[in-house]
Amino acid sequence: MTELPLPALKRVHIQRCPEVGSYGLSRILQCAPDVEDLWIEHCNDIYLIELMISYPCPQLTQLRRFRIDWEPGSDFWPHLTTFISASPLEHFSIDIGRQRQSMPFDTPFLRGFLQSHGARLRSFTAVGFEFDDAMMDQICSSCPQLVELELCWYSPDYHPVPKADIFAKCRHLRSFKLGMAEYVVARGPSHPKGISLVERKTSVLN
């Protein structure tokens, strides 16, 4: 791997974090200090803990789009918080769906993440977390600039579509995805309480 920084490298996609390892992840990020778009697949506690403790990790001060596919464990939250603490994120996606079971969204990390990064976020995706209307209201209160919101979790219970007025705080929100369904956020005096969710029908081509 080259030892020279590559400031022109703006997009990094690490497909298999276990094969790269924490040292490799450290070297990649050191070579791309100005990365703006980072996607890490198959990541877990071990790699970020080692990255934070054992190897130099640059402050990702240009990172605006971050996607991580996570295999969660007990030490996940504080290390991921540190990893992106200096990043001016506008787009964030976290997917723990590989385990095909949901975990509560109401965790210290995600509450803190919404407080520190929510004001700038334009898109937010969370797959594999359990939500209720109160948590969706917290997302909308913390992220007034959201344009796109996507939520998906694995539960034996059907979760009804939330009330549209929850999204009134997100004045720029255009689309909302809940599992496989996609809704357009419609506004205007003709809609109850000034806002409605209209399901977007998709055609299937044989």
Per-residue pLDDT of the chain (206 residues; tens, 9 = 90+): 445 556 678 999 988 777 777 788 888 888 888 899 999 887 776 777 677 677 777 788 999 999 988 776 555 566 677 778 889 999 999 887 666 566 767 677 778 888 889 999 999 998 887 777 888 888 999 999 999 999 887 665 556 677 888 888 888 999 998 877 888 888 888 877 788 888 886 544 33
Same domain, 96 and 43: no
Q: Is residue 80 part of a domain?
A: no
Same domain, 44 and 101: no
Residue for token digits 């969706």?
136
Q: 166: Cβ–Cβ under 8 A, 6 or more apart, which residues? A: 133, 136, 137, 140
Domain range for residue 157? 89-206
Same domain, 193 and 122: yes
DSSP 6-52: -TT--EEEES-HHHHHHHHHHHHHHH-TT--EEEEEEEEHHHHHHHH
Pairwise CA distance, residues 199 & 62, whole Å: 35
> For residue 108, what pLDDT is reported?
72
Same domain, 38 and 100: no
- Residue 151 near residue 124, CB atoms below 8 Å: no
Pairwise CA distance, residues 93 & 63, whole Å: 13
Same domain, 170 and 118: yes
> For residue 102, what pLDDT is reported?
65
Q: Is residue 84 part of a domain?
A: no
Same domain, 27 and 95: no
Same domain, 70 and 118: no
Same domain, 130 and 32: no
Same domain, 35 and 134: no
Same domain, 47 and 97: no
- Residue 121 near residue 90, CB atoms below 8 Å: yes
Residue for token digits 């004001």?
119
C-alpha distance from residue 118 to each of 47, 133, 141, 198 (Å): 26, 18, 9, 25
Structure tokens at 148: 């796109």
Quote the pTM value: 0.83
Query: Number of folded domains in the chain?
Result: 2
Same domain, 69 and 108: no
What is the rounded end-to-end Cα distance, in angstroms, of the chain? 45
> For residue 29, what pLDDT is reported?
84
Q: Is residue 83 part of a domain?
A: no
Same domain, 133 and 202: yes
Q: 3: Cβ–Cβ under 8 A, 6 or more apart, which residues? A: 31
Pairwise CA distance, residues 75 & 81, whole Å: 11
3-state secondary structure of 162: coil
Q: Where are the alpha helices (DSSP H) in the chain?
A: 17-31, 45-54, 76-83, 108-117, 133-142
